[in-house]
Structure 1
């Protein structure tokens, strides 16, 4: 189970929405995650994901977090993970895993990743940064390529 939990967390596709999965047990777990995480929790998850991605050799130069920041993020993530899985959403997690199997674990945590991303995107500075590339887009070429009126 430990390997499954870690694999699910490491595979969080924060920037991409998870495919829709219509299952009451998965939806109950996702709702429990939403109800039992605060903005602070979601930012902690986003920070942990950011630091994990910053470990990539092509990204490392853009982030200067040291081992103390990484360890703090790991500890905060472990506490959040354990609180959700072993306490706040334990009943929902057990039902989901029993009815849907280990893959559902990943689906539930992908949803939590989406919540974390939405938390960050609500900040105007983040939204502005995401749209920064637009000033370099050739709109005439884009309209032609997409055959827009």
Structure 2
């Protein structure tokens, strides 16, 4: 197995990064990646992204992910990356890298990561949780600012 640190960096950045400049071959690869991942695969990606984000000092105190869980998530994501690139989307991977370079992998996995996160945020519980902070807003204060801004707006 290749333990090249550069490959590890590409793998880690792929899901966290947004889409880079995509060409037709990386578009095809991205479509294949999204189409070839199951709901369970996307769940694994979301858990992995969450586990990585939980390493940040600003949120590490609100996450209970253990090192053993993080290792297990890394193993699952490594298996998923490998399966997608070498089996499920092999032809698209070869074409994308051949004609558009290795950066197409990052761009394509970025789109897959976005699809997985979109699925997560479309969950009813998550979506409701996103709006819970509004219970604590001072509406009068907001209306005074927003109403004033709307009145200042020139046609």
- Look at both structures and tell me which one has the larger radius of gyration over its CA atoms: 2
CA positional deviation for 1:9: 3.0
Q: TM-score, normalised by structure 2?
A: 0.81
The answer to which of 100-109 and 136-145 deviates more is 136-145
Unpaired stretches in structure 2, ≥5 consecutive residues: none
Which residue matches 1:49?
Answer: 49
Q: TM-score, normalised by structure 1?
A: 0.84
Unpaired stretches in structure 1, ≥5 consecutive residues: none
Partners in 1 of 2:6 and 2:114 — Cα distance?
20
Relative distance call for 1:33 and 1:131 in structure 2 (3 A) is same
User: Does the Cα contact within 8 Å between 1:18 and 1:110 map onto a contact in 2?
Assistant: yes
Relative distance call for 1:39 and 1:59 in structure 2 (3 A) is same
Relative distance call for 1:3 and 1:9 in structure 2 (3 A) is same
Which residue matches 1:13?
Answer: 16
CA positional deviation for 1:63: 0.3
User: Does the Cα contact within 8 Å between 2:16 and 2:49 map onto a contact in 1?
Assistant: no
| Higher relative helix content | 2
User: Does the Cα contact within 8 Å between 1:26 and 1:104 map onto a contact in 2?
Assistant: yes
Relative distance call for 1:49 and 1:145 in structure 2 (3 A) is farther
Partners in 1 of 2:127 and 2:24 — Cα distance?
33
RMSD: 2.5
